[in-house]
Amino acid sequence: MLARSDLTAGAVVSGVGLAEQFVAVRRHSVGLAAPLSDEDCGAQSMPDASPVKWHLAHTTWFFETFILEKFEPGFAPFDTAFRVLFNSYYNGVGEKHPRPRRGMLTRPSRAEVLAYRESVDARVLALLEDGVADGELAELITLGLQHEQQHQELMLTDVKHLLSLNPLFPVYRADAEPVAAAGALRWLEFAPGVVEIGHRGEGFYFDNETPRHRQFLEPYRLATRLVTNAEYAAFIDAGGYREPCFWLAEGWDFIRAEDISAPLYWRKIDGAWREFCLAGLRDLAPDAPVRHVSYFEAAAYASWAGARLPTEAEWEHAAGTGGLAQMFGAAWQWTSSSYAPYPGFAAAAGAIGEYNGKFMVNQYVLRGSSPATPAGHSRVTYRNFFPTGARWQFTGIRLAM
């Protein structure tokens, strides 16, 4: 199956419990958009990002398409045009509005999208009141909530990129992105051996986290914390962006073509580094983890530091031990593992099976979670993935040897 919930857990089996989860997650998305103007919610800063208004509509489309259409008696769509406008990548569902043009969707308005959400929410809650929240319905609603949490993170990363392009450096929320520092960097050693990775099958999981399987690990060491801004600034000062010997060939071509010489949101002002964040423009915090670096930049820094990036198996194995800081909540951490299926992986049938499997090419795995990840969403076996050049996500660096 694509994803499942532990049907022995009372909060999932109980219609009331699942309804409460549904309401909380759906309200949180609307709350994330509350500090934004209508103009903020409708703009698209680049093809990889989506307008906040689109995220609010697409997550609603997911519940309408995969739950109401399947389980609601006498189903009728809220608006037939929305089936195309807010389809993301589900070819099995039908046509899609081109991703790079989502910012052109000035209509429907933000108010109409919120009305769409209210209508679908009421209809999903009516299904739960009918006492049928078990089996496939419960699993699909739970998947929809996990999917919405992924988009909650994307809402924040996408609006951060949008606001960063404004020379006024607008503040999304003054208390956003608190600075979190860790102690001195140490190395933990791990013995060689056969380990098991992948989800054990209890609680919710995505299909790409399974099947659980064995891997042999050579002896390795892992840094106890993430690379800091000060450490990365030393790489820049040492000419790291000017020395091709540290870079993968494609990475060197990438930074030269894109004129990249620092992490995405760093600004050199009056000779000092500053960083744009969701709280606006602020002095660079030297002890905070460096974020918004591509896979290419992470690999180049690791090479310069005489280290490497961990494999995802090393990361997951080490995460089960003590002594490692900033494994979750500080930054998504690049691994050297290509995003590929685990041995025995099989995607679910139908359009819902397009959720993960078809993206298992030309991307790398990230582990952990970021300040934008909803609480409780990630776990040790969670596999995030992005292309090598992605920088607008909260991506950081943990070293291995």
The CATH architecture one would assign to domain 187-396 is Alpha-Beta Complex (3.90)
Q: What's the confidence (pLDDT) of residue 349? A: 86
Q: What's the confidence (pLDDT) of residue 216? A: 98
Phi/psi of residue 193, nearest 5 degrees: 160, 175
Phi/psi of residue 284, nearest 5 degrees: -65, 125
**Rounded to an integer, what distance in angstroms lies between the CA atom of residue 29 and that of residue 41?**
12
Contact 336, 344 (CB under 8 A): no
Q: What's the confidence (pLDDT) of residue 5? A: 33
**Rounded to an integer, what distance in angstroms lies between the CA atom of residue 189 and that of residue 314?**
11
Q: What's the confidence (pLDDT) of residue 341? A: 97
**Rounded to an integer, what distance in angstroms lies between the CA atom of residue 3 and that of residue 144?**
10
Q: What's the confidence (pLDDT) of residue 355? A: 86
Q: What's the confidence (pLDDT) of residue 312? A: 98
Chain-centre distance for alpha carbon 204: 17
Digit-by-digit pLDDT tens for the chain (401 residues) are 334 332 222 233 334 489 999 999 999 999 999 999 999 999 999 999 999 999 999 999 999 999 999 999 999 999 999 999 999 999 999 999 999 999 999 999 999 999 999 999 999 999 998 755 678 999 999 999 999 999 999 999 999 999 999 999 999 999 999 888 889 999 999 999 999 999 998 999 999 999 999 999 999 999 999 999 999 999 999 999 999 999 999 999 999 999 999 999 999 999 999 999 999 999 999 999 999 999 999 999 999 999 999 999 999 999 988 899 999 999 999 999 999 999 999 988 888 888 888 999 999 999 999 999 999 999 999 999 999 999 999 999 999 99
Supply the pTM of this predicted model: 0.94
**Rounded to an integer, what distance in angstroms lies between the CA atom of residue 16 and that of residue 21?**
9
Q: What's the confidence (pLDDT) of residue 133? A: 63
